[in-house]
Amino acid sequence: MLELTKEGRYIYIENNELNKTLRFDLKECIMERPNRKREWEKVLHQYRFFQNKCLTDIKFCDEKFEKLFKLSSKLQPNCNSISSYITFLPKILHLESYICEDINIEAYTTCQYSYCGCHYSINMPTESLNFYPKNVINFFKQTGFKVSRTFESEFEDKRDFFTVLITKLLTINIQPDKKIELIKQVLYSNSFINLVNAYKYDLKALLEYCFNYLEPFEGLTIRESLNLLEDYYRMGSEIGRKLKRYPKYLKSIHDIIQANYNAKQREYDEQLFAEAKQPELEYEHDKFCIVIPDKTADIISEGTDLNHCVSSYVDKILRKETYIVFLRAKKDKESSLVTVEIQNKKLIQAKGSYNRNLTEDEKNFLIRFTKKKELELFI
């Protein structure tokens, strides 16, 4: 039986069968034994001392140290030498702080064979636990988050941002195991960082929107939500659209934005559009009027302003398959209100912002408009 005790920088190993003691200096990485003068001296070979001994032959005097020692053996899966486990400890001694606080770490090794033997590539945190602020350490404890070298590297690059993020995560009312999954998807998401930094989204509100609404009601993972929301906000901002920061139907509104965005990137035949123009449809009555678009950009802007996909109708207008006019307030003819589609002398569609239905006043105006222009009303 071997008894292992850690005292400061030294590990004392007592072999009860041989009645002998060795100690390992963690700082100098040397094994020592007492000489006749009871002074510690370096020893190169200790085969007999550890001969035929395995992990089950060790008695540990400290539970935390036992975990650290067993981690050393885990990281050397093709080795069964107690002395090798001991001499490897200085390489992982910084992990003792994680073990003492019962914080999970990702530490594993991949083994590669070469002509000269076995070489180990180890993946584990390289810093001790004091690398992190207290609130981040509290997050590790509360959620059981596993600290890895990848996370450590990301944290070092974005320390202030991650510290704020983790602090906010602790205030969100979701289960601890869900927080782990949430942070894994969020911390490595450039979309999340762009939404917060570039588009000034409130960090906590954004997380709650993704987790408490988009995931259960739209079936989107956190990462899908973040990517879609960033794409929606980026395209909308570039085409000058008035945007809701947390739209109720993100997937639908994203597709509408994308249609408007794509339409704006295209070059249309303005001559064909001018030929399709129907100025005879202009009309005014009471507080409303019908405005005729002058160019394709007017159609695209209408879709942008009202958050619907009328921009996808430009090609149909150029082919004279349909026509679009705008219902506006007489006192504010420049502001979009309702988009109207006319096809073969029939008014077949009229939609407001986000495809809302018409008000009674708007309906009554369109009834008068269709009668005046001899159109059939199919809405």
List pLDDT tens digits, range 135-170: 889 888 877 888 988 888 888 887 887 788 777 777
Domain residue limits at 161: 108-188
- Where does a domain end: 220, 239, 263? 263
Regarding whether 286 and 237 lie in a shared domain, the answer is no
Q: Please state the rounded mean pLDDT for residues 209-224.
A: 88
Residue pLDDT, tens place only, 276-298: 999 999 999 999 999 999 999 99
Q: Judge whether residue 111 has pLDDT over 60.
A: no
Task: Say if 99 falls within a structural domain.
Answer: no
Task: Supply the pLDDT for residue 176.
Answer: 67
* Tokens 């894994």 found at: 184
Regarding whether 281 and 258 lie in a shared domain, the answer is no
Regarding whether 54 and 6 lie in a shared domain, the answer is yes
Please indicate, yes or no, whether the overall pTM of this predicted structure exceeds 0.85: no
Sorting pLDDT into bands at 50, 70 and 90, what band is 54?
confident
Q: Please state the rounded mean pLDDT for residues 312-328.
A: 94
Per-residue tokens: 135: 């609130």
Residue pLDDT, tens place only, 256-279: 888 888 888 888 999 999 999 999
Structural Rg of the chain based on CA atoms: 35
For 309-320, b/e burial (b = at least 16 CB within 10 A) is bbbbbbeebbee
Per-residue tokens: 330: 């007489």
Task: Say if 24 falls within a structural domain.
Answer: yes
Task: Say if 98 falls within a structural domain.
Answer: no
Regarding whether 81 and 16 lie in a shared domain, the answer is yes
Regarding whether 213 and 157 lie in a shared domain, the answer is no
Nearest to 172 by CA among 128, 199, 193, 203: 203
Q: Please state the rounded mean pLDDT for residues 345-366.
A: 93
Kindly tell me the burial class for residue 207, based on how many C-beta atoms sit within 10 Å of its own C-beta (0-12, 13-18, 19 or more): buried
Task: Say if 254 falls within a structural domain.
Answer: yes
Regarding whether 283 and 218 lie in a shared domain, the answer is no
Task: Supply the pLDDT for residue 113.
Answer: 46
Q: Judge whether residue 57 has pLDDT over 90.
A: no
Count how many domains the chain has.
4
Regarding whether 177 and 124 lie in a shared domain, the answer is yes
Task: Supply the pLDDT for residue 362.
Answer: 96
- Which residues, 6+ apart, have CB-to-CB distance to 250 below 8 Å? 214, 218, 220, 225, 228, 229, 232
Distance CA 184, CA 151 (A): 9
Task: Say if 366 falls within a structural domain.
Answer: yes
Regarding whether 182 and 213 lie in a shared domain, the answer is no
Q: Please state the rounded mean pLDDT for residues 330-338.
A: 95
Looking at the DSSP bridge assignments, the partners of residue 350 are: 340
- Where does a domain end: 237, 263, 289? 263
Q: What is the mean pLDDT of the chain?
A: 87
Q: Please state the rounded mean pLDDT for residues 37-54.
A: 85
What is the share, in percent, of the chain residues with pLDDT greater than 90?
42
Task: Say if 318 falls within a structural domain.
Answer: yes
Task: Supply the pLDDT for residue 304.
Answer: 84
